[in-house]
Structures are given as C-alpha cells and as structure tokens.
Amino acid sequence: MTVFIIRRLLQSVIVVAVMTLLVFAGVYAIGNPVEILISQDATEVERAAAIARLGLDKSLPEQYLAFLGNLLKGDLGTSFVFGEPALQLVLERFPATMELALSAMLIAVFIGVPLGLYAGLRPDSIGGRTIMTGSIFGFSLPNFWQGLMLIMFFAVILQWLPAGGRGVRGEFLGIESSFFSWDGISHLILPAINLALFKTSLVIRLTRASVRETINLDYVKFARAKGLRPRRVIGLHVLKNIMIPLVTIIGLEFGSVIAFAVVTETVFAWPGMGKLIIDSIFQLDRPVIVAYLIVIVCLFITVNLVVDILYAILDPRVRLSDQKA
C-alpha cells in the first residue's frame, strides 16, 4: 500500500511538472508574454521594469527556470484589475469555493446514497418510485433557474435564509470558515443545495443501478445463504462493492462541481474562484486566469490522487495488480 501511494505521488509530481511546462509554453513561448502578463495601460518604464523582473529578455530555457522559480515563490504576475498578486487573489477565493463544493458533495453523498440504496432495494415501492421521479427533476432543472427559485422561495417569500453573499466566518482551531458560524452556514445552505441537486440525482441513480446489479450476484446470495442478517449483507457485502463505482464518480464529479460552481457563485453572489474567473475573463485579467488554471490543475491532481488511493483501499484487486506490475 505504501509503495502504491509513493508511486502515485511521484506520478502526480510528474503531472504537475508537465503542466507547468504547458502553461509556460502557452503563456511565454507561444503568445507574447509581455502582452499577456503586463497591462496595456502600463507606461514604458513600468513595462521595462516588468520585463526585467519576469526575465523576459532571457532565453527560453532560462525563462522557464525563472518561471518555475517564480511559481515556487508564488509569483504569477499582478492582476491588472486589482493590482494584487494574481495567485494570492485566486487563493483568497479558494476557501469559499471549496466550502461550497465540499458542502454540495457532502449533501449529494449523504442524501444520494441512502435514497439510491432504498430505491435499489425496493424498486417497486411507492418510496422507490418517488425517489426516481424526483431525481429526474434534479437532472432537468436549469441550474441558474433553480437557484433563482430557491432565492425567491426561501429568501424572498419565507425570508428564512439570506439571498446571497458569504456571511461572517467563524474560527475553530485557527481555521477560519463559514462552517464555524451560524451566519456562515445560513449563507452557505442555499448555494450548496443549488449546487448539490444535480449531483444528488446522479448519485441516487448510480447507487440504485449498482445496487440492482449487485444484489443479484452470487456472492450476495451466498452471503444470505450463510444466514447473515440483511443489515450485514447490505451494509457490508453490497455497500462495499458499490462504493467502487461511487468513489470514482464522486471524485470525477468533484472537479465538475467546482466548474459548475461558476453559475451558482454568480447567482448567489458567492465570492469564490468561479466568480473571480468569470470577472477576470470579461476584463481580460490574464495573470489571474493563468493563476486560476494552475490552482485548478493542482486541485484536480490532488482529487485524482485521493480517488486512486481510496480505490486501492476499496478494491484489493487494484492494489495487488499494481504491486505485481
């Protein structure tokens, strides 16, 4: 297992290295980095200073090394719009987006898996049918419209929850987060639900399909033939097997949740990376776009790594075939 993790870590490092090369090629080698990284409003003096600072007067390999060096120092240029370091800008918004994405995924898993399990075990019951019909709605409603409806209903009509913004964050063990204050949580609920609805439907359907498939397999029948209680047959024999496809999908979807967050963050004025990137694209704030790309790629790599490790924990066949390889 340790060997497995170390190998996956090394692979991740290689991917990051390749990624920096690609970003470098995209920004420095193909385009004119002066135009990409330095605002057009800059004066000649500012330009010259920036060119020298970014090392744009040197050869390409030297520039790449300099780029790597700057990257390690966290310097990806300065936002044209905010005048702050681009990476810092993105990272400031990072926790807000992660809060949103995490809450949405937690909702999707903790609601989707039990409902899917129920629908899979009792496909012909009224409850099972209702769940499946409900999941179709989750799939078909447009995200922004659904967000507006949530705001209308819970914020405007019922006035239970705030309509947008992030609220006051609480602090716990030195970590500042919306999770640790009621105001923060109340601001988080609607956007998280909005982001979660689609994923919940997906998890419900995937869980149900996996349960229906697994439940008829010989090893489940054999487990019952041993005289095991249904709770153990379902809770261990069935669940542990359906976790394998579930973890894969949830990992993949985590990435797409962050991408989808753009719409939700816009509708709910949630100050996350999604909103920042949309604003930056409109304003051609290129250093921020580059920083965003790098952060997202690193995030995807991390998620993939975690999924791979979970996968190996869940499925002994993966672990062993990897050791042999």
Partner 1 sequence: MSLLSIENLKTHFFTKAGVVKSVDGVSFDLDRGEILGIVGESGSGKSVTGFSIMGLVDPPGRLVEGSIRFDGQDLVGMAEPVMRDLRGRRIAMIFQDPMMTLNPVLRVDTQMIEALRAHGRWSDDAARQRCRDVLGQVGIPSPEERLKSYPHQFSGGMRQRVAIAIALLHEPDLIIADEPTTALDVTIQAQILFEIQKLVAENNTAMIWVTHDLAVVAGLADRVAVMYAGRIVEMGTTEEVVNRPFHPYTSGLIGSAPSRNPRGARLTQIRGMAPLPMNLPTGCAFRPRCDRATEACIIEPDATTPESEHLVRCYHPLSGASDWGTTA
Interface ranges with partner 1 (CB under 8 A): 216-219, 221-229, 232, 236-237, 240-241, 244, 314-317, 320
CB of 220 to partner 1, least distance (A): 8
Choose between 1 and 217: whose C-beta lies nearer to partner 1: 217
Choose between 302 and 321: whose C-beta lies nearer to partner 1: 321
Choose between 73 and 221: whose C-beta lies nearer to partner 1: 221
CB of 217 to partner 1, least distance (A): 6
CB of 293 to partner 1, least distance (A): 37
Q: Label each residue of the chain as H, E or C.
A: CHHHHHHHHHHHHHHHHHHHHHHHHHHHHHCCHHHHHCCCCCCHHHHHHHHHHHCCCCCHHHHHHHHHHHHHHCCCCECCCCCCEHHHHHHHHHHHHHHHHHHHHHHHHHHHHHHHHHHHHCCCCHHHHHHHHHHHHHHHCCHHHHHHHHHHHHHHHCCCCCCCCCCCCEEECCEEEHHHCHHHHHHHHHHHHHHHHHHHHHHHHHHHHHHHHHHCCHHHHHHHHCCCCHHHHHHHHHHHHHHHHHHHHHHHHHHHHHHHHHHHHHHCCCCCHHHHHHHHHHCCCHHHHHHHHHHHHHHHHHHHHHHHHHHHHHCHHHHHHHHHC
Choose between 36 and 239: whose C-beta lies nearer to partner 1: 239
Choose between 119 and 273: whose C-beta lies nearer to partner 1: 119
CB of 110 to partner 1, least distance (A): 22
Choose between 129 and 232: whose C-beta lies nearer to partner 1: 232
CB of 33 to partner 1, least distance (A): 51
CB of 251 to partner 1, least distance (A): 18
